[in-house]
Structure 1
Amino acid sequence: MNRKMSLLTLLATLAFALSPLLSSGFNGFAPDQFPIPQDNPPVQPAGYAFAIWGLIYLWLIAGAVYGVWDRATDPDWEPMRPALIVSLVIGAAWIPVAQLSPLWATVLIWAMLITAVLALLRAGKADHMWLRMPIALYAGWLTAASSVALGLILAGYGYLDAQVAAWIGITLALVIALLVQALRPDAPGYPAAVIWALVGVMVANLDGPNWSVLALVILGIALLGWRMVANRRV
């Protein structure tokens, strides 16, 4: 059964990684997908930031292959697999849903985040580069992406002004990120992915500039970065 779980993890990873090739891909929601069009929303990272998915896909595949090859029944690997499989299976269907409904895509990406973080918390301490690192990058980007999606929903459906929605989305991402970072200080890939997303938000808000969003993002980068350095010294 344990060996089957490692194979299922690999299959789910491949399905997830191949999903962009079976669609037109995703670089953010289109402005007209919302009742109130979201042109240049302050909560959304610059388009280049989505390139991190290439690294995440490749590292998840490498980790899953290594898991089948040499860690199929390893006790450090087994506990995280069910949650990761659920997250990846949801993720394999996410892009088509996102192209049709930002609202349902937001629901799904939060489910992906919750299960990805659960997988990260359950991952053992061995094999940092093949076990924790790919899951950490994946969960870190999802932390930012899910909060961005929520901010877009709040503004795009008229619940809040886009600026306020950005403050809420970014703050929520930081709260989650700092909590997960505290629970898994040995997974620097997690805050690194969140910082990558925050830098993307910063770049997107330089035109103007949007000082309040920039200040919040810089504060978040500083906090996460400082804790990364502090954790390396422990």
Structure 2
Amino acid sequence: MQPSTSSKNWDFLRQLVTLFGIIGAFIVNIASNIFPLNGLSIGEISNTLFNNVLIIPANYAFIIWGLIYLGLFAFGIYQFLPNQKHDLDLRKTGYLLVIACVAQSIWVYLFLSRLFGLSIIAMLLILVPLIGIYLRLGIGYKQVPRSKKWSVHFPISIYLGWISVATIVNIACALYFQRWNGWGISAQIWTVIMLLAASSIAAIIGIQRQDIAYMGVTVWALVAIAIKHWNNSLLRNVALVLVIVLIAIATIKNLPNRSDSIS
């Protein structure tokens, strides 16, 4: 059955808005580094105001944003391909990615404005739509062509994986800024708890969905945290042990040979 003219128009609008949402988020991200609001970029705020927040990874870890935006642009272009314009999976995602991209831009403004409490709300408005997209696409469950896996599934997995970690970091920064005392629990122990939480989520996704991209992002973050706090034996060892556990899970599940990578 051929899509109606109305459906075609709505599909085109969704594709166009999604692409512009991705481009807009990218421009805001670049501008925030070239012309940072209030004189400090996101990285500079992290390295000054939040230098003592132990969950923040080493600076080099944030180059993953290059990969995230590369994947998002692949997603944006893929949806415009003639044979993908009416893809039912993409249609199910609706405007969720647009919401995430707009929230990403709002988060940048709030964080640079040092409205860290409100930035948590913006971060959740990135996280929740990405979870929605992830579930609607059936990532890890549905068999898809290789082109769709690389242009749709992997980009969403990587974006969601990093935002999952970033949400934990964002909450930790906001609490630190408010001088929360941690209920008397040391910062090191809270960091270990957060590392365990992030790794547990990645492990569950790895076991249930065998999503190597999501797990890889978590491993990337854990290694960066271990490197940044190399002289802190507790954090270093916990992070490295969790890396080994996640790699072991990925190896046992034999991710590269899954039959859902169809050519």
TM-score (norm 1): 0.87
Q: Deviations over 1:45-103 (max 9, x none)?
A: 00110011011111111221111224221013222243222211101222111112222
CA contact (8 A) 2:58 2:228 kept: yes
Q: Which segment is superposed worse, 43-52 or 106-115?
A: 106-115
Matches within 5 A, 1:1-234: 1-23=10-32, 24=36, 25-27=41-43, 29-30=45-46, 33=49, 38-70=50-82, 71-100=84-113, 101-124=115-138, 125=142, 126=144, 127-156=148-177, 157-160=179-182, 161-185=186-210, 187-206=211-230, 209-229=231-251, 230-232=253-255, 233-234=257-258
Q: 1:168 to 1:190 in 2, by over 3 A?
A: same
Distance in 2 (alpha carbons) for counterparts of 1:133 and 1:203: 26
- Conservation of the 8 A alpha-carbon contact between 1:147 and 1:172: no
**Distance across 1 between alignment mates of 2:108 and 2:205:** 26
Segments of 5+ residues of structure 1 without an aligned counterpart are none
SS at match of 1:128: helix
RMSD, matched Cα:
2.1
In structure 2, the gaps of 5 or more residues are: 1-9, 259-263
Provide the aligned length of Structure 1 versus Structure 2.
227
Displacement of 1:140 in angstroms is 0.6
Tell me, in whole angstroms, the C-alpha distance in 1 between the residues paired with 2:91 and 2:52: 42
- Residues 172-214 of structure 1, C-alpha deviations (whole Å, 9 max, x = no match): 22233233334432x32111111111111111111xx212222
Residue by residue over 1:28-59, the C-alpha shift from the partner in whole angstroms, topping out at 9 and shown as x without a partner, is 644665xxxx3242211001100110111111
1:116–1:135 Cα contact (<8 Å) kept: yes
Contact 2:11/2:86 (CA < 8 Å) preserved in 1?
yes
| Larger Rg over CA atoms | 2
Query: Measured at CA, do residues 151 and 231 of structure 1 come closer, stay the same or move farther in structure 2, by a change above 3 Å?
Result: farther
Amino acid at match of 2:242: G
Change (3 A) 1:39 1:21: closer
1:141 offset after TM fit, Å?
0.7
> d(CA) in 1 for partners of 2:125 and 2:241?
27
The sequence identity of aligned pairs, in percent, is: 23
Partners of 1:94 and 1:103 in 2: CA distance: 11
CA distance in 2, matches of 1:17, 1:81: 20
Contact 2:106 2:122 in 1 (8 A): no
Contact 2:157–2:214 at 8 Å: present in 1 too?
yes
| Distance in structure 2 (CA, Å) of the matches to 1:228 and 1:15 | 35
Q: Is the 8 A contact 1:28 1:47 kept in 2?
A: no
